């Protein structure tokens, strides 16, 4: 099973500004920590699951344009 992930660079490619992309990633990391995933409580980590981003934005991201997979 592949879990799609997103970085700020992926969001910038989608048309978000640099500061907006960084803010969205930061919010997604906070959401993941709140949900019990302490792994995301790391300031150097910049990759979060697509589902966390979609929950924050309230829209689905086009999966064919996202590059990050683990």
Query: Each residue of 7-58: pLDDT tens digit?
Result: 999 999 989 999 999 999 999 999 999 999 999 999 999 999 999 999 999 9
Q: Which pTM does this prediction carry?
A: 0.83
Helix axes 18-34, 50-57, angle to 10 degrees: 110
Give domain status of residue 11, yes or no: yes
Q: Looking at the predicted structure, is the pLDDT value of residue 68 above 60?
A: no
Give domain status of residue 13, yes or no: yes
Domain that holds residue 25: 5-65
Greatest alpha-carbon pair distance for the chain in Å reads 32
| Domains: count for the chain | 1
pLDDT band at 67 (very low <50, low <70, confident <90, very high): low
pLDDT band at 63 (very low <50, low <70, confident <90, very high): low
Give domain status of residue 70, yes or no: no
Give domain status of residue 32, yes or no: yes
Give domain status of residue 47, yes or no: yes
């Amino acid at each position: 099973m592949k879990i799609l992930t997103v970085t700020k660079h992926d969001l910038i490619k989608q048309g978000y500004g640099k500061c907006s992309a960084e803010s969205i990633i930061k919010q997604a990391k906070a959401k993941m920590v709140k949900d019990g995933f302490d792994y995301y409580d790391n300031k150097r980590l910049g990759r979060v699951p697509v589902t966390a981003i979609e929950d924050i934005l309230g829209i689905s991201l086009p999966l064919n344009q996202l590059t990050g997979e683990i």
